[in-house]
Structure 1
Amino acid sequence: MPLSSIKQTLLQALDEQFPLYLHDWQSISTQIYTSPAPKIQDIWLSLLRHHGFFVQYLDSGQQILYGEYMVEAPQTLLFYIKYTPSLAMQQATFPLLSHLAAIRAYSSRREPFPLNVKWLIDGQDDVSASALAHFFTQHRSLLQADDCILYTTKHETGKEGIQPELLLGIKGHLQVEVSLRTADHSIPTAYGAIAPDAAWQLIWSLAALKDAREDILLEGFYDDLQAPEDEVVASIAQLPDTSTELKQAWGTEHLLMDIEGVRQHYAYWLTPTCTITLLSSPSDPQTSGDRDLLPAQAHARLDFRLVSAQDPYKIFTQLQHHFATHTSYPVQCRLLSASRPIAISAREPLVQRWLQAIDGASRQPPVLLPLANDLYGYALISDQLACPAMGIALPVSSDATLEEQLRIQMIQHVLFLASCDKPTPDQANQRSSH
């Protein structure tokens, strides 16, 4: 049976049973709204178990729920969702319900399910990065998969997105503290013609990092940049101009260089940044009186957002060299935090299959975004599980369109799974004889 026919019969099964799925949604919504937060994970546990998943809690507080549906398929897909009671209900439940509907559609048509599937539903309150890293290290073998989908409710293009967003990665981050000292203690300003001012010395060094056009002058900073893929550039070029909205929200008259439209989106998504987030020159604690004094010390905090293949540790070394060569006074550079940018290609099969599935189910095309500023768990999953990972932010629907959105997302799930179905020669022969 050709793959297109398989899709057709699966969609027919989905359509026939949709009233049942809608009833499931209404029942689960009622349970969630009326249950205390610690008991909500039990609702997911019962639902997964009812659909044939092996389910267990991975923590003593029963807030991290794991379920697997293993069918001896050649590939395994991990779904991860960070669930909190404050989320929009459809964003938390639609992904899971859509997946279970797809399983039921395959089962009703006696089609072999094309993937091994794992679900990780994280209902913890805020946890530290180190605690989350320890969790993934502890359960690495259990969570291992060929691909991973992370569902998020944070929309990068607006507070209430009406289109699904496919997030291909996260930006890198480098935060550095810089301290400069010019003397043992503060000096009266009367000596300003001959005594060094720590604040000016640091400001001059900082000014040499970036010019008025926002180009970062740190030697070697752009050496490792990779050109963005055409698909990504084309996608962000379709985003609406939000420059006026941003200026009003921030209470500012201008964006940098009066940037707007496509240039604004290109700069935001694909350009690295260097920002001063703190600048101070405090007087020495032992200095008393109210005399005007030249500061003997000055401090700054720098924040870099990195793209493509930029290495924060390499840039930190370049930064140390920069300050050593732009002032004759001792400068201390302290690395506060660092993380590398991580992304997958828009041409990755995982991405292409979801794009095709969304295109086949919805009138709203997805937005393909290259690098989010933050995507909970993405870095740990990419690093520790070493598999391609993509984030999905689902649209937020009004009550009037919830039923339609549920149907659309179920169709998307079926189309995605059907696109993963690559039968062996024996399976193909068996299907063609039906």
Structure 2
Amino acid sequence: MPLSSIQQILLHTIDEQFPLYLHDWQSISTQIYTSPAPKIQDIWLSLLRHHGFLVQYLDPDQLILYGEYMVQAPQTLLFYIKYTPSMAMQQVTFPLLSQLAAIHAYANHCKQFPVNIKWLIDGQASTPSTYLAQLLAEQRSLLQADSCILYTTKREISKVAMQTELILGIKGHLQVEVSLQTATRAIPASYGAIAPDAAWQLIWALAALKDEREDILLEGFYDHLQTPEDEVIEAISHLPDISAELRQAWGTEQLVMDLKGIQQHYAYWLTPTCTITLLNSALSPQTSTSMDDTVDNTELIPTQAQARLDFQLVPAQNPHEIFTKLQHHFHTHTSYPVQCRLLSASQPIAISAREPMVQQWQQAIQNVSQQPPLLLPLAADVDEYTLISRQFAVPTMGIALPIASVATGAPAPLEQLRAHMKQHVLFLTSYDRQTPDHANRLSSH
């Protein structure tokens, strides 16, 4: 798409001012490397305040920083980043500096910034999800926005792709503990032909959950699945085949069903799972050994067995409905008492690839970079995505920037910084709803 005259002016301004931004990046990097962890948030506070943000800490420990740049625009964006010492410097400094450069460029040439900006910078190394959830609830009115963007790290399965990732959602999760008891007294293994074995009883019930083709047999499990969008299928088809790298990293001879290429990516990103993460059997703690107190425990039939099941869910699957179906499954596949305990449950959350915010970022990146962004439909283990999306009920997207490395052949960090600044300024221009004639928006200087 051809760039407008004001977009070209703003991009030119980024190039002109880049030595100044480069100096900021080098200064901030030095400060971060030499400052104790508790003082790093003060660096971001000073930087945001210097560029016109109203800034405050939201917690007594001064580790969760909030800043806002409010210009009475019709739309508000909330940006979230979780800073930890293990993050690459680019992952935290590039997003902030890029936005500040875009604001500065606008201030030089335009009378009105097109969107309100809010930042939430989480500096706690291991923020408990319950703590963040409480803070988001308490500060709901302060943080409320029309859309949310989370900066995060690249997914393990796509690290070799040196392209920006746009993450459209988070997988749902269901974790369940199942326990089964077959007897209250110890039974010697010699009675194995007639005595119930808790381990086998549980194994048979578990085996009825999934077949050798990885299809989950739980009744109604797939009833509400949604067909992935064509844009998502197209996006994952461009991911590199890393099946060999995964086999080597995991020390396994082959992936499930020897999946490769787009089949591997489709299964990983878009398919729900049922995994046994724990399986053991033993005597029940209440089991009596009155039959023969001299029998060694290794010669006893297990009277109790436990399993932990982990489900990764995709949009429209309800973890609580699946838990109910799971309870019914175990009660109908064994005649012995079964206890199902729900350990955790969260709904899958996703936005459409056609969401305006997604398309605006795609267009901005494509106008600057030779490498288009990757659309990743469903990530896992990004608790902040779930909390923010659920709390504010607005379109939420994750962004993961590629990390420059000579070994990968990626652009140098400085060129990546310049490119991201340009992408950011183009993204912000997409919120400009003024008339096509930009001349009347140029300042007199």
What TM-score results when the alignment is normalised by the length of structure 1? 0.95
Q: Is the 8 A contact 1:243 1:260 kept in 2?
A: yes
Q: Give the alignment partner of residue 310 of structure 2, picking from 298, 303, 308.
A: 303
Gap change, CA 1:398 and 1:349, over 3 Å in 2: same
Counterpart residue identity of residue 207, structure 1: A
Counterpart residue identity of residue 427, structure 2: F
Counterpart residue identity of residue 401, structure 1: A
Report the alpha carbon displacement of residue 160 of structure 1 after superposing the two structures with TM. 5.7
1:51-66 residue pairs with structure 2 within 5 A?
Answer: 51-66=51-66
What SS does structure 1 have at the residue aligned with 2:215? coil
What SS does structure 2 have at the residue aligned with 1:86? coil
What SS does structure 2 have at the residue aligned with 1:396? coil
1:410 aligns with 2:421: yes
Q: Give the alignment partner of residue 363 of structure 1, picking from 357, 370, 379.
A: 370
Q: Give the alignment partner of residue 333 of structure 2, picking from 322, 326, 334.
A: 326
CA deviations on 1:266-320 (whole Å, 9 max, x unpaired) are 0011111111111111124444531622222111111111112100000000000
Structure 1 residues 50-59 or 155-164, which shifts more? 155-164
What SS does structure 1 have at the residue aligned with 2:157? coil
What SS does structure 2 have at the residue aligned with 1:60? coil
Report the alpha carbon displacement of residue 125 of structure 1 after superposing the two structures with TM. 2.0
1:124 aligns with 2:121: no
Gap change, CA 1:53 and 1:197, over 3 Å in 2: same
Residue in 2 aligned with 1:385? 392
Gap change, CA 1:367 and 1:216, over 3 Å in 2: same
Q: Is the 8 A contact 1:13 1:109 kept in 2?
A: no
Counterpart residue identity of residue 120, structure 1: L
Counterpart residue identity of residue 336, structure 1: L
Residue in 1 aligned with 2:350? 343
Q: Matched residues in 1 for 2:126 and 2:441: separation?
A: 49
Q: Is the 8 A contact 2:176 2:341 kept in 1?
A: yes
Structure 1 residues 415-424 or 203-212, which shifts more? 415-424
Residue in 1 aligned with 2:165? 165
1:372 aligns with 2:379: yes
What SS does structure 1 have at the residue aligned with 2:231? helix
Identical columns (%): 71
Q: CA RMSD in A?
A: 1.9
CA deviations on 1:9-45 (whole Å, 9 max, x unpaired) are 1112212111111111111112212222111111111
Gap change, CA 1:88 and 1:316, over 3 Å in 2: same
What SS does structure 1 have at the residue aligned with 2:412? helix
Q: Matched residues in 2 for 1:31 and 1:428: separation?
A: 40
Counterpart residue identity of residue 191, structure 1: Y
Residue in 1 aligned with 2:430? 419
What SS does structure 2 have at the residue aligned with 1:281? strand
Q: Matched residues in 1 for 2:222 and 2:194: separation?
A: 38
What SS does structure 2 have at the residue aligned with 1:79? strand
Gap change, CA 1:37 and 1:161, over 3 Å in 2: farther
Report the alpha carbon displacement of residue 161 of structure 1 after superposing the two structures with TM. 4.8
What SS does structure 2 have at the residue aligned with 1:179? strand
Q: Is the 8 A contact 2:79 2:119 kept in 1?
A: yes
Q: Matched residues in 2 for 1:392 and 1:432: separation?
A: 31
Corresponding residue pairs, total = 432
Gaps of 5+ in 1: none
Report the alpha carbon displacement of residue 252 of structure 1 after superposing the two structures with TM. 1.0
Residue in 2 aligned with 1:211? 211
What TM-score results when the alignment is normalised by the length of structure 2? 0.93
What SS does structure 1 have at the residue aligned with 2:282? coil
Q: Is the 8 A contact 2:155 2:379 kept in 1?
A: no
Counterpart residue identity of residue 293, structure 1: L
1:34-433 residue pairs with structure 2 within 5 A?
Answer: 34-159=34-159, 161-285=161-285, 286-287=288-289, 288=293, 289-290=295-296, 292-398=299-405, 401-423=412-434, 430-431=440-441
CA deviations on 1:209-264 (whole Å, 9 max, x unpaired) are 01110000000000011011111111111111111111111111111111111111
Report the alpha carbon displacement of residue 109 of structure 1 after superposing the two structures with TM. 0.5
Q: Matched residues in 1 for 2:24 and 2:60: separation?
A: 29
Q: Matched residues in 1 for 2:236 and 2:158: separation?
A: 13
Q: Matched residues in 2 for 1:52 and 1:351: separation?
A: 27
Counterpart residue identity of residue 133, structure 1: A
Gaps of 5+ in 2: none
What SS does structure 2 have at the residue aligned with 1:80? strand
CA deviations on 1:125-182 (whole Å, 9 max, x unpaired) are 2122211111111111100000011001243434465211110111011110111111
Gap change, CA 1:35 and 1:105, over 3 Å in 2: same
